Amino acid sequence: MKINVRIDSQMKGTEGLGTHVTGIVEHALSHVGERISGVEVHLKDQNGQKGGADDKHCLMEAHRDGHPPTAVSEQAATFEGAIKGAAAKLKRSIESSIGRESSHAGRRDHP
Name the pTM for this structure: 0.83
Query: What is the three-state SS of 2-56?
Result: EEEEEECCCCCCCCCHHHHHHHHHHHHCCCCHHHCCEEEEEEEECCHHHCCCCCE
pLDDT along the chain (111 residues), means of 10: 89 80 96 92 82 83 94 94 97 90 58 52
- Please state the domain count of the chain: 1
Print the domain residue range for 46.
2-109
Whichever domain contains 20, its CATH number is 3.30.160.100
